[in-house]
């Protein structure tokens, strides 16, 4: 099947998929990546590339640094992919998980790289300064974990899959929730996420209020392709003013990722390409696995739909995916 016959979706991961060494292969192999990182350094006023390549990891994990780092890495992967495919492989829709929604809006032409980077810089600063709490991913259905969470002043942060729900709250509250959930579901152990706060919960309302004037002042255009909204679970209204309000609400409301995926499946997506980030213990970019792949494939297995998945997160997978989608 040629790319012209496919319904392609570009997706971008969120915070937690950063790692020290991220981008080292890209800047070695592709001048466009080096140029993008230099542009980012100039905009940010600090050496983002050095931080990504050398760490320290504790600094890279700070929200104010993680968000620009992941945005630049994801968009460097996108620019390399466009170069490798002569810009002939185009999506019909884009989506991103949490921070990744800003990358999706760049890919759809709504945000420029410069504007997106300025937005996520301020977003990360406000979330790190004014936010609080932590997050746990429970391998449980919303109906099982939601009533328990509310008993302990915790709330839903993301619905990633039907049986994977992220909960945010203060550390002591999450500990009490974990103990009660373990008593009821002893085989369902939660995973603590590598974030600096309880994102997409009421703990981010103050950060959102500080972020609103920055959003209001940002230049945006109507998207050239459809973009999925984490806040609603369905498509963004093409009106830039409406996109801004949904990005505002996204900061302190749950990410409806499973709804985003199901919307795409129902609309006939045949191919999904993930750009940027990486997970796993290996040190080198080629040792990393994609952040969203397992969620996407699990969602597909639980549906009546099928789609091909491709990673584009390092030099190797970028070349492989570019070749596969042009054959």
Q: Which of 17, 24, 98, 157 is catalytic?
A: 98
Signed CA dihedral, 281, 71, 321, 266: sign only = positive
Tell me whether residue 74 is one of the annotated catalytic residues: no
Q: Please, which residues have CB within 8 angstroms of residue 310's CB and are 6 or more apart in sequence?
A: 271, 272, 273, 274, 317, 320, 321, 324, 325
Report in angstroms the alpha-carbon separations of 90 from 7, 183, 276, 311: 9, 48, 17, 15
Q: Long-range contacts: 182-191, Cβ < 8 Å, 24+?
A: 184/144, 184/148, 185/140, 185/144, 188/138, 188/139, 188/140, 189/139, 190/136, 190/137, 190/138, 190/139, 191/136, 191/137
The token pair that represents 69 in the structure block: 């780092």
Tell me whether residue 98 is one of the annotated catalytic residues: yes
> DSSP string covering 23-73, please?
THHHHHH-HHHHHHHHHHHHHHTS-HHHHHHH--HHHHTSHHHHHHHHHHH
The token pair that represents 246 in the structure block: 């949904």
Query: Nearest Cα to 257, choosing from 117, 104, 38?
Result: 104
Q: Which of 65, 200, 253, 310 is catalytic?
A: 200
| Cβ pair 65, 112 in contact under 8 A | no
Q: Which residues face 159 on adjacent strands? A: 165
DSSP structure class, residue 230: T
> Which spans in 171-279 are helix H?
171-184, 205-217, 240-250, 257-266
Known catalytic residues are: 98, 200
């Amino acid at each position: 099947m040629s790319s012209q016959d496919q319904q392609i979706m570009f997706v971008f991961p969120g915070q937690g998929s950063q790692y020290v060494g991220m981008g080292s292969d890209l800047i070695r192999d592709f001048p466009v990546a080096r140029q993008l990182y230099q542009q980012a350094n100039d905009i940010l006023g600090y050496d983002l590339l050095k931080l990504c390549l050398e760490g320290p990891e504790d600094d890279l994990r700070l929200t104010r640094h993680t968000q620009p780092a992941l945005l630049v890495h994801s968009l460097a992967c996108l620019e390399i992919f466009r170069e490798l495919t002569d810009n002939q492989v185009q999506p019909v829709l884009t989506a991103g998980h949490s921070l990744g929604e800003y990358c999706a809006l760049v890919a759809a032409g709504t945000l420029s790289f410069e504007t997106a980077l300025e937005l996520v810089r301020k977003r990360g600063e406000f979330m790190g300064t004014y936010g609080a709490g932590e997050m746990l991913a429970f391998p449980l259905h919303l109906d099982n974990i939601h009533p328990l969470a509310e008993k302990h002043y915790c709330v839903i942060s993301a619905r990633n899959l039907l049986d994977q729900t992220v909960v945010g709250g203060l550390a002591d509250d999450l500990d009490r929730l974990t103990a009660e959930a373990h008593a009821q579901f002893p085989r369902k152990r939660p995973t603590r996420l590598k974030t600096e706060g309880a994102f997409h919960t009421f703990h981010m309302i103050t950060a959102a209020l500080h972020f609103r004037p920055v959003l209001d002042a940002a230049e945006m255009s109507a998207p050239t392709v459809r973009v999925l909204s984490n806040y609603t679970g369905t498509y963004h209204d093409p009106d830039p003013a409406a996109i801004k309000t949904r990005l505002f609400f996204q900061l302190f409301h749950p990410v409806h990722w499973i709804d985003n995926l199901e919307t795409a499946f129902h609309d006939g997506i045949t191919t999904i390409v993930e750009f940027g980030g990486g997970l796993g213990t290996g040190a080198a970019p080629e040792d990393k696995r994609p952040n969203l792949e397992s969620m996407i494939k699990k969602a597909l297995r639980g549906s009546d739909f099928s789609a091909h998945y491709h990673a584009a997160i390092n030099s190797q997978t970028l070349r492989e995916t570019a070749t596969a989608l042009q054959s």
